[in-house]
Amino acid sequence: MYEYTDIHLKDRNTFGIDAVARRLLEIEPGDSIPTVEGDFFVLGAGSDVVFVDDYAGTVVTLADRQVVTVDDNLVTAWGGMRMDALVQWCIDHGLYGLENLSAIPGTVGAGAVQNVGAYGVEAKDVIERVEAYDLRECCLRTLSNADCRFGYRHSLFKELPGRYLVLRVAFRLRTVFVPNLSYKALANLPHATAAELRQAIADLRWQKLPRPEEHGSAGSFFKNPVVTETVYLALREQFPDMPEAHASEGGYKLSAGWLIDRAGWKGRTQGGAGVWPTNALVLYNTGGCTGSDVVALARAIQQDVLDKFQIPLTPEAIII
Ligand SMILES: Cc1cc2nc3c(=O)[nH]c(=O)nc-3n(C[C@H](O)[C@H](O)[C@H](O)COP(=O)(O)OP(=O)(O)OC[C@H]3O[C@@H](n4cnc5c(N)ncnc54)[C@H](O)[C@@H]3O)c2cc1C
């Protein structure tokens, strides 16, 4: 385990926001988990967080190590491993099911916390169980898929922030490749290999999202709001160009990107933050941006969308 004090976090979050943590503990696979006194926050690859201030407590993080074990088609990976590295590892080893989650710049552990999803697949579809350290009871727990209470970008770990440190995630994969082409733009790839599907997904992704090495962001900044059928139908009547939504998650999932775009925010900048010109769901660092710039822009968008559509937007990114 490594311990750092007064550490700059600029290279530990994809927004590229500089903040200083008083203390940071980096845990290696096999380390015993320390008892952390005072405030702490678990940080993965920092691809879904915005630091608004310096952090006076302890940041706990898992080292980025590629540790994978396989038992038949059950693949268990270290929580600090990068999700994308795991996707590649699985394809290389003839294990399939994660391809559609290619190029998400987060860790395996946060993949379970956030129930990451992309191009028709969510982590919960393939997670069999999660091994987490219970920081309150100081013991290791194994949680089944059902225990994790997965939902849209949601899990038990989000209900109880700070309670669990996800150490390992076990994925039930397949040994036969069957491409998931449920996302419309992938429908023309019925004969693709897993590697080709992975490449197609990465290509699609970078058409719509800023590459973290070029422009800082947290990917989609807001969740797509889920509304009742009555609200959805009333909006469709008022805005016939609104994209069609389908019933899911107990309601109709609207496109937050469309709402933000229709409210006139696409491409606009404010302070050091901006709305990505080709995808209004993404807020990005236009250069030298602070967490306060991002939050101010996000609030302005939320208020405007509320005023124009009476729809509250909830951030997917975590503000610290
Ligand atoms: C360019 C870009 C594209 C993206 N595309 C997608 C996408 O397609 N789909 C999608 O779902 N997300 C996407 N994201 C968002 C982000 O990558 C995911 O939410 C990812 O899971 C966050 O992982 P992380 O390791 O960076 O977590 P962090 O941002 O560091 O943390 C996120 C949350 O998880 C908690 N956490 C992290 N690690 C652990 C752990 N080991 N144990 C307990 N809690 C932990 C943190 O406390 C925090 O609450 C994208 C982000 C970017 C920048």
Report the number of distinct structural domains present in the chain.
Answer: 3
CATH code at position 214: 3.90.78.10
Which pLDDT score, from 0 to 100, does residue 133 have?
A: 96
268 pLDDT more than 80: yes
Alpha helices in 72-193 (DSSP H): 83-92, 108-114, 156-159
Percent of the chain past pLDDT 70, that is, above it, reads 100
Please indicate whether residue 14, judged by its CB atom, sits closer than 6 Å to ligand 1: yes
* Inter-residue contact 99 to 194 (CB < 8 Å): yes
Q: Which of 208 and 259 is assigned the larger pLDDT?
A: 259
pLDDT in tens, 159-173: 999 899 999 999 999
Which pLDDT score, from 0 to 100, does residue 175 have?
A: 97
Please indicate whether residue 17, judged by its CB atom, sits closer than 6 Å to ligand 1: no
Region 179-185 average pLDDT: 93
Which pLDDT score, from 0 to 100, does residue 197 have?
A: 97
Neighbour-count burial of 132, counting CB atoms closer than 10 A to its CB (0-12 exposed, 13-18 middle, 19+ buried): buried
Please list the residues that pair with 148 across neighbouring strands.
Answer: none
Q: Considering only CA atoms, which residue is closest to atom 33 of ligand 1?
A: 110
In the chain, the amino acid numbered 50 is V
Residues 214 and 281 both lie in one domain: yes
Percent of the chain past pLDDT 90, that is, above it, reads 92
245 pLDDT more than 90: no
Which pLDDT score, from 0 to 100, does residue 264 have?
A: 97
- Rounded to the nearest integer, the mean pLDDT of the chain is 95
Domain residues for the domain of 153 are 68-205
Residue carrying the six token digits 């290509």? 203
* Inter-residue contact 78 to 68 (CB < 8 Å): yes
Q: Considering only CA atoms, which residue is closest to atom 20 of ligand 1?
A: 106
Please indicate whether residue 16, judged by its CB atom, sits closer than 6 Å to ligand 1: no
Whether pTM > 0.85 for this model: the answer is yes
Please indicate whether residue 315, judged by its CB atom, sits closer than 6 Å to ligand 1: no
CATH code at position 93: 3.30.465.10
| Parallel/antiparallel/unpaired status of strands 127-134 and 164-172 | antiparallel
pLDDT in tens, 89-98: 999 999 999 9
Residues 236 and 190 both lie in one domain: no
Q: In the listed set 146, 181, 205, which residue is the last one of a domain according to the structure? A: 205
Please indicate whether residue 216, judged by its CB atom, sits closer than 6 Å to ligand 1: no
Residues 32 and 133 both lie in one domain: no
Residues 75 and 171 both lie in one domain: yes
Residues 193 and 219 both lie in one domain: no
Please list the residues that pair with 282 across neighbouring strands.
Answer: 220
pLDDT in tens, 276-310: 999 999 999 999 899 999 999 999 999 999 999 99
Residues 78 and 193 both lie in one domain: yes
76 pLDDT more than 90: yes
Closest Cα to residue 86, out of 102, 100, 74, 71? 102
Of 9, 48, 87, 220, best ligand 1 pocket probe by most atoms within 8 Å of the beta carbon:
48
Q: In the listed set 205, 232, 257, which residue is the last one of a domain according to the structure? A: 205
249 pLDDT more than 80: no
Residues 83 and 196 both lie in one domain: yes
Residues 58 and 89 both lie in one domain: no
Whole-number Å distance, alpha carbon 121 to ligand 1 midpoint, is: 16
Q: Which two tokens stand for residue 197?
A: 């599907």
CATH code at position 7: 3.30.43.10
254 pLDDT more than 70: yes
pLDDT in tens, 37-72: 889 999 999 999 999 999 999 999 999 999 999 999
Q: Which of 245 and 109 is assigned the larger pLDDT?
A: 109
| Parallel/antiparallel/unpaired status of strands 49-50 and 318-319 | parallel
Of 114, 148, 320, best ligand 1 pocket probe by most atoms within 8 Å of the beta carbon:
114
Q: Considering only CA atoms, which residue is closest to atom 23 of ligand 1?
A: 106
Residues 230 and 277 both lie in one domain: yes
Strand ranges in 104-250 using DSSP code E only, listed in sequence order: 117-118, 121-122, 127-134, 139-144, 164-172, 217-220, 226-227, 247-248
Region 146-169 average pLDDT: 95
3-state DSSP of 291-314: HHHHHHHHHHHHHHHHHHHCCCCC
Which pLDDT score, from 0 to 100, does residue 37 have?
A: 86
Q: In the listed set 46, 62, 78, which residue is the last one of a domain according to the structure? A: 62
Whole-number Å distance, alpha carbon 43 to ligand 1 midpoint, is: 9
By annotation, the residues acting in catalysis are 153, 220, 316
Residues 183 and 310 both lie in one domain: no
Region 246-274 average pLDDT: 92
Residue carrying the six token digits 């996302």? 183
Residues 49 and 12 both lie in one domain: yes
- Helix, strand, or coil (residue 83): helix
Residues 131 and 215 both lie in one domain: no
